């Protein structure tokens, strides 16, 4: 019988739009007894994702968290007890352990064991986790950027965008980032190596893109949709690739907002637009982790973390992402 007490954040109600603190409730409960083949993980780091808005929505998403459940999340923690093959007390693991202090899970919930002792474990939720691996996989498989091409990235200062910019730059591309504040623009230029940064809140996006991309845009890494995409798409070059990775600017899917028709643009530019979900590419996850680990060690992949302390700070953190209040990977430290 396990005597540990758990603190959890459970889903209290379905949000109308962006999830806010009142859509969650904190509970104190006993840690469930372990069954054969399970492991007990003590979480140290919780991840906050823009995608959580979709996980909490009723419709039009690839997965959904039921009301009443512990909020689904990737976390990093330490194995406290194990009756599963391949896991021992003290192992560091990253996986689907939820917004809670302790999780009793099957090994299938573990995305990876963290074995590199020289890199901070929190990185496996950001630059070496969902964000970095999404950036690397989508850019590589869908974007296929070539040296000398122009790559445009929305949410350029964020967890995903900051990696996309640096990876494209490392391949010899010109990189143009869009973000919302002077502080983020500075980070894009000084830390993430963007050749040009556009503030989509204060600049004329179309005119700024035209000046920065005189030969058109070869790869558009789209994390937002909305007004940024409306300005980018008419400026695609022939043969352009558009990666639909996120839709941060769309506040409601039902009804979906009307926008310009893009078919004529795709036709005349012979362009390809494709949606991307990292979970379809888990077979190559580990190899991209190794590639990015090497870059972090070599100091050629910069990253920022935006950390708050304590389980309660998770509850309002999704809303903060949609208010552009983070600079870097949003994490909660327990
Ligand atoms: N498809 C996948 O498998 C996958 C996996 C991971 C992440 N993603 C997507 O990648 C994107 C970035 O994720 P992340 O974790 O790295 O988050 P992030 O970029 O660190 O944070 C979210 C950012 O979105 C921007 N934003 C918020 N509301 C916006 C709006 N109305 N219009 C334009 N931009 C807005 C803000 O940046 P600014 O201040 O620059 O506006 C905010 O900082 C998200 O769309 C996410 O859903 C997709």
> Which residues are registered as beta bridge partners of 178?
198
Å from CA of 301 to ligand 1 middle: 19
Whose CA is closest to atom 28 on ligand 1? 322
Measure the CA–CA gap between 330 and 46, rounded to whole angstroms: 9
> Nearest-5° angle of CA 161, CA 163, CA 166?
110
Q: What is residue 35's predicted lDDT score, i.e. its pLDDT?
A: 95
Ligand 1 atom nearest 131 alpha carbon: 6
Å from CA of 9 to ligand 1 middle: 23
To which H or E segment does residue 232 belong? Answer: helix 226-232
The answer to whether 237 and 210 are in contact (CB under 8 A) is no
Number of CB atoms found within 10 A of residue 202's CB: 12
Whose CA is closest to atom 19 on ligand 1? 158
Residue 53 phi/psi, 5-degree rounding, is -60, -45
Secondary structure of residue 46 in the 3-state scheme? strand
For residue 179, cis peptide bond before it (omega within 30 degrees of 0): no
pLDDT in tens, 66-124: 999 999 999 999 999 999 999 999 999 999 999 999 999 999 999 999 999 999 999 99
Å from CA of 33 to ligand 1 middle: 37
Number of CB atoms found within 10 A of residue 260's CB: 10
Q: What is residue 254's predicted lDDT score, i.e. its pLDDT?
A: 74
Ligand 1 atom nearest 330 alpha carbon: 20
Whose CA is closest to atom 44 on ligand 1? 246
CATH topology (fold) of 5-126+304-333: Quinone Oxidoreductase; Chain A, domain 1 (3.90.180)
- CA 184 to chain centroid, in Å, comes to 17
Ligand 1 atom nearest 279 alpha carbon: 3
Q: What is the mean pLDDT of the chain?
A: 95
Å from CA of 155 to ligand 1 middle: 5
Measure the CA–CA gap between 250 and 34, rounded to whole angstroms: 42
Residues with CB under 6 A from ligand 1: 49-51, 130-131, 134, 155, 157-161, 179-180, 184, 223-224, 226, 245-246, 248-249, 276-278, 321-322, 324, 326
As a whole number of Å, the end-to-end CA separation of the chain is 25
The answer to whether 200 and 230 are in contact (CB under 8 A) is no
Number of CB atoms found within 10 A of residue 171's CB: 18
CATH code of the region 130-279:
3.40.50.720
Secondary structure of residue 146 in the 3-state scheme? coil
Q: What is residue 275's predicted lDDT score, i.e. its pLDDT?
A: 98
The answer to whether 153 and 143 are in contact (CB under 8 A) is no
Instruction: Compute the half-sphere exposure of residue 291: CA atoms within 13 Å on the CB side of its CA.
Output: 15
Å from CA of 262 to ligand 1 middle: 22
Q: Which residues, given as ranges, of the chain have pLDDT below 70?
A: 1-2, 59-63
Domain ranges in the chain are: 5-126+304-333, 130-279
The answer to whether 299 and 15 are in contact (CB under 8 A) is no
Measure the CA–CA gap between 45 and 134, rounded to whole angstroms: 19
């Amino acid at each position: 019988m396990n005597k540990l007490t758990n603190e959890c954040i459970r889903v209290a109600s379905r949000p109308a739009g962006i999830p806010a603190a009142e859509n969650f409730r904190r509970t104190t409960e006993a840690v469930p007894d372990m069954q054969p083949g399970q492991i007990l993980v003590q979480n140290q780091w919780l991840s906050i994702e823009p995608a959580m808005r979709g996980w909490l929505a009723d419709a039009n998403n690839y997965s959904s968290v039921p009301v009443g459940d512990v909020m689904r999340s990737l976390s990093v923690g330490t194995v406290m007890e194990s009756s599963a093959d391949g896991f021992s007390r003290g192992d560091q693991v990253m996986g689907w352990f939820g917004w809670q202090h302790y999780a009793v899970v099957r090994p299938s919930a573990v995305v990876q064991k963290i074995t590199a002792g020289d890199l901070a474990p929190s990185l496996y939720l950001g630059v070496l986790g969902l964000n970095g691996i999404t950036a690397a996989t989508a850019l590589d498989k869908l974007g296929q950027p070539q040296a000398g091409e122009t790559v445009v990235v929305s949410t350029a200062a964020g967890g995903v965008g900051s990696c996309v910019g640096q990876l494209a730059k490392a391949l010899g591309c010109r990189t143009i980032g869009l973000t919302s504040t002077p502080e983020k623009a500075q980070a894009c230029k000084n830390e993430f190596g963007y050749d040009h940064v556009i503030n989509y809140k204060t600049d004329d996006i179309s005119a700024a893109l035209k000046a920065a991309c005189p030969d058109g845009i070869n790869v558009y890494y789209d994390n937002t949709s909305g007004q940024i995409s409306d300005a980018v798409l008419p400026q695609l070059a022939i043969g352009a690739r558009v990666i639909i990775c996120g839709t941060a600017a769309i506040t409601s899917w039902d009804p979906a907002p009307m926008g310009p028709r893009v078919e004529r643009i795709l036709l005349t530019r012979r362009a390809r637009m494709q949606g991307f979900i990292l979970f379809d590419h888990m077979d190559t996850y580990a190899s991209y982790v190794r590639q990015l680990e090497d870059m972090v060690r070599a100091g050629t992949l910069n990253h920022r973390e935006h950390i708050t302390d304590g389980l309660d700070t998770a509850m309002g953190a999704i809303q903060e992402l949609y208010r552009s209040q983070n600079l870097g990977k949003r994490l909660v430290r327990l």
